[in-house]
């Protein structure tokens, strides 16, 4: 019994250590990877542009729900006019970065992990090494960079669409005054709040991309291994995102 | 080659879209830069001792119907008063010159707005007209002070 616990703990620790080591190996390859912007552009397209539809749809509906729930809650205190600032702050500081990161892990992270995992399973990575081509430089680093560039942008798009959704329900449907809605929002949202959202987006981008490429790269070279790597990517990304979210919030508040 | 070009175009559009969203958030959601939407209608001015938490963009209403927006709030150092410039919708052009403009609060914690009560004059406001009768925002602390003073006087 205690043996299995010790084994689990040491496995978790070893996972963290290996992921950190992996991170530094990517960092070492970044200068060379930056010399090939084409590869990065391609990965920004894969991770970002292809996630756009899901991010926009979910952003709209999260904003609309926020409009309904926020209105109902604030109406109990007779202060519906605070809907704009309440919803905007919630979206900019928390919901936007976190939900965008979770969606990103589900859409782009799994794609990255399974792609690299399949390269491993079909011996493409080994073939590269045999040809003296560093797979870190050509496969891992561009995908990592693409994810880092894509997630902050996706976060901003998510927040903007979300605020549009709040406005759609709050102002157009439930009848909060338009001027009050926007002026209250402008009065309470500071540039620092948007910076907080942006910083969260960047940190989550690093975490989710790192987990995706790490799990893919270290996947067992079997069909089952690729599947397991994909699952672990989503689970670990979600857990890491929420833990990091707490830490950043505690630091920046 | 063709597909890589399409990829680049889509990626470029995505990145531009992302930065446009960031730009929207920075300029429209914060009060860094307020872009007044409409420029139609006409301007009325009211001077207040205290505008409370009245904000630019707050509604100007008559009998509960929104007829305009607060466009600018400045401080006049000659008169030591707050000057509120409001833009009234052009279709509401029969506001009597002796109307009064009071700052009201919507709900318990709600935003503040200007409530205009029509007077009896048959002269109507023109652009740049100034309200003669105004009522300041109700500041809760002042009210409590007055209440406390009246209690201690007893």
pLDDT confidence of residue B109? 65
Give Cβ neighbours of residue B120 (< 8 Å, ≥ 6 apart): B96, B98
- pLDDT of residue B1 exceeding 70: no
Give Cβ neighbours of residue A213 (< 8 Å, ≥ 6 apart): A22, A26, A112, A113, A116, A140, A143, A144, A147
Cα separation, B53 vs B69, in Å, equals 15
Please name the member of B7, B14, B24 whose beta carbon is closest to the beta carbon of A160: B24
Q: Give the pLDDT confidence of B133-150 residue by residue, as tens digits.
A: 888 887 777 888 888 888
- pLDDT of residue B37 exceeding 60: no
Stretch B83-103: mean pLDDT: 88
- pLDDT of residue B34 exceeding 50: no
Q: Chain A closest CA to B152's CA: distance in Å?
A: 32
Q: Give the pLDDT confidence of A59-73 residue by residue, as tens digits.
A: 999 999 999 999 999
- pLDDT above 70 as % of chain A: 100
Q: Per-residue b/e over B71-85, b at no fewer than 16 CB within 10 Å?
A: bebeeeeeeebbbbe
Instruction: Enumerate the domain spans of chain A.
Output: 39-252
- pLDDT of residue B123 exceeding 90: no
Please name the member of A154, A179, A187 whose beta carbon is closest to the beta carbon of B59: A179
pLDDT confidence of residue B2? 55
- pLDDT of residue B108 exceeding 80: no
- pLDDT of residue A58 exceeding 90: yes
pLDDT confidence of residue B36? 46
Band the pLDDT of B29: cuts 50, 70, 90. Answer: confident
**Which of A153, A170, A199, A202 is the mutation pick for testing B, counting most B CBs within 10 A?**
A153
pLDDT confidence of residue A162? 95
Q: Which of B12-21, B26-35, B53-62, B79-88 has the lowest mean pLDDT?
A: B26-35
pLDDT confidence of residue B35? 43
CB B58 to CB A180 under 8 A? Answer: yes
Contacts of A189 in chain B (CB under 8 A): 29-31
Please name the member of A45, A177, A186 whose beta carbon is closest to the beta carbon of B29: A186
Stretch A169-173: mean pLDDT: 92
Contacts of B70 in chain A (CB under 8 A): 179
pLDDT confidence of residue A98? 96
Q: Give the pLDDT confidence of A2-49 residue by residue, as tens digits.
A: 888 888 888 888 888 888 888 998 888 888 888 888 888 889 998 998
CB A160 to CB B14 under 8 A? Answer: no
Element containing residue B11 per DSSP (H, E): helix B2-24
Out of A239-243, B52-56, B84-88, B106-110, the most confident range is A239-243
Stronger pLDDT, B106 or A53, i.e. the higher one: A53
Please name the member of A41, A44, A79 whose beta carbon is closest to the beta carbon of B108: A79
List residues of chain A with CB under 8 Å from any CB of chain B.
38, 41-42, 44-45, 48-49, 52, 77-82, 88, 92, 149-150, 152-154, 156-157, 159-161, 163, 177, 179-180, 182-187, 189-191, 193-194, 198
- pLDDT of residue A158 exceeding 60: yes
pLDDT confidence of residue B89? 86
CB A179 to CB B58 under 8 A? Answer: yes
Q: What is the ipTM of this complex?
A: 0.76
Stretch A150-174: mean pLDDT: 94
- pLDDT of residue B38 exceeding 70: no
Band the pLDDT of A152: cuts 50, 70, 90. Answer: very high
* Closest residue in B to A81 (Cα–Cα): B110
Stronger pLDDT, A69 or A180, i.e. the higher one: A69
CA angle A230, B3, A56 (to 5 degrees): 55
Mean pLDDT over the full length of chain A:
91
Tally Cβ neighbours within 10 Å of residue A59: 28
Is A35 buried (19+), middle (13-18) or exposed (0-12) by CB count in 10 A?
exposed
Q: Chain B closest CA to A225's CA: distance in Å?
A: 30
pLDDT confidence of residue B146? 87
CB A153 to CB B8 under 8 A? Answer: no
- pLDDT of residue B32 exceeding 70: no
Q: Enter the tokens of residue A49.
A: 């542009």
Q: Enter the tokens of residue B69.
A: 């927006």
Stronger pLDDT, B3 or A19, i.e. the higher one: A19
pLDDT confidence of residue A143? 92
- pLDDT above 90 as % of chain A: 60
CB A183 to CB B58 under 8 A? Answer: yes
pLDDT confidence of residue A170? 92
SS3 state at A3: helix
Residue A213: what are its φ and ψ, rounded to 5°?
-70, -35
The predicted model scores a pTM of 0.77
């Amino acid at each position: 019994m205690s043996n299995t616990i010790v084994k689990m703990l040491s496995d978790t620790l070893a996972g963290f250590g290996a992921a950190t080591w992996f991170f530094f190996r990517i960092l070492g390859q970044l200068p060379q990877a930056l010399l090939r912007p084409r590869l990065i552009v391609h990965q920004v397209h894969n991770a970002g542009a292809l996630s756009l539809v899901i991010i926009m749809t979910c952003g709209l509906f999260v904003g609309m729900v926020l409009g309904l729930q926020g209105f109902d809650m604030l109406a109990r205190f007779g202060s519906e006019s605070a809907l704009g600032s309440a919803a905007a702050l919630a979206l900019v500081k928390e919901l936007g970065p976190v939900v965008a990161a979770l969606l990103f892990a589900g859409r782009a992270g799994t794609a990255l992990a399974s792609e690299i995992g399949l390269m491993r399973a079909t011996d493409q990575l080994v073939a590269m090494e045999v040809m003296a081509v560093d797979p870190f430089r050509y496969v891992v680093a561009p995908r990592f960079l693409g994810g880092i560039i894509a997630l902050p942008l996706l976060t901003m798009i998510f927040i903007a669409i979300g605020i549009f959704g709040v406005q759609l329900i709050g102002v157009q449907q439930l009848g909060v005054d338009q001027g009050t809605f926007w002026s209250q929002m402008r009065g309470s949202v500071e540039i620092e709040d948007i910076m907080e959202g942006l910083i969260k987006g960047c940190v989550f981008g690093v975490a989710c991309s790192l987990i995706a490429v790490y799990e893919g790269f270290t996947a067992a070279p079997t069909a089952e291994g690729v599947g397991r790597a994909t699952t672990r990517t989503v689970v670990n990304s979600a857990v890491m995102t929420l833990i990091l979210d707490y830490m950043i919030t505690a630091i920046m508040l | 080659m063709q597909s890589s070009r399409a990829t680049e175009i889509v990626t470029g559009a995505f990145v531009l879209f992302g930065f446009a969203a960031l730009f929207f958030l920075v300029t429209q959601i914060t009060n860094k830069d307020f872009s007044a939407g409409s420029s139609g209608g006409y301007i009325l001015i009211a001077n207040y001792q205290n505008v409370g938490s009245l904000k630019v963009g707050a509604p100007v209403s008559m009998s509960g119907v929104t007829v305009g927006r607060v466009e600018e709030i400045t401080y006049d150092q000659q008169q030591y008063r707050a000057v509120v410039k409001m833009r009234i919708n052009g279709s509401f052009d029969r506001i009597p010159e002796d109307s009064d403009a009071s700052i009201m609060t919507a709900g318990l914690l709600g935003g503040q707005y200007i409530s205009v009560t029509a007077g009896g004059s048959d002269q109507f406001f023109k652009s740049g007209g100034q309200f003669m009768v105004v009522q300041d925002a109700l500041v809760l602390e002042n009210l409590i002070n007055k209440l406390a003073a009246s209690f201690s006087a007893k």
